[in-house]
Amino acid sequence: METLHVADEVRYTWDIAEPIKGGGVVVTGDRIGAVGTFEELRERFPGARVRKWAGVLGPARVHEGPLPDAPTPRERIHAVLKLGAVAVLGEYATAPGLREAAARVGVLVLPAAPRTALAETGRADLAVFDADGRCVATVCAGRLVHRRA
């Protein structure tokens, strides 16, 4: 079943000049099925579950520094997800249990930070940020793993 994530704006990359106003991203399983305006996506995917977010939706981030302190590896990974990141750099994931905790939820451990972008058929890693830059929601490999109340 598809999920259509809709936001005030959608950005293919965080540095793109022209966002899609009232855009959305269709997620099927762990992949991006389509990116476009809400109207066109609703027409193409009429049965999709719709999740509406206030803010700007774009590619999830790569956490490029030390992981936040927390009592357990699982909680450290969850703290990264709350920041809108679904990947961490390997040089910061050396503490016992961190790589295993990351793998359990689908967080990637990477040797370097790649440029992130929304791309059809790409892995569905998304994040929504409000006007103050706080993460509202994080989708990791198609699963909603963080939602701010």
CATH number at residue 49: 2.30.40.10
- List pLDDT tens digits, range 47-63: 999 999 999 999 999 99
User: What's the first-to-final CA gap in the chain, in angstroms?
Assistant: 25
- Residue for token pair 């793993």: 145
Residues 69 and 94 in one domain: yes
Residues 96 and 131 in one domain: no
Residues 129 and 97 in one domain: no
Residues 19 and 56 in one domain: yes
Residues 48 and 38 in one domain: yes
Residues 55 and 94 in one domain: no
Whole-structure pTM over 0.85, yes or no?
Answer: yes
The arithmetic mean of pLDDT across residues 91-118, rounded, is 96
Q: Which domain holds residue 100?
A: 62-110
How many structural domains is the chain composed of? 2
Residues 56 and 125 in one domain: yes
- List pLDDT tens digits, range 22-43: 999 999 999 999 999 999 999 9
User: 122 φ, ψ to 5°?
Assistant: -75, 165
Query: Count of H helices and E strands in the chain?
Result: 3, 11
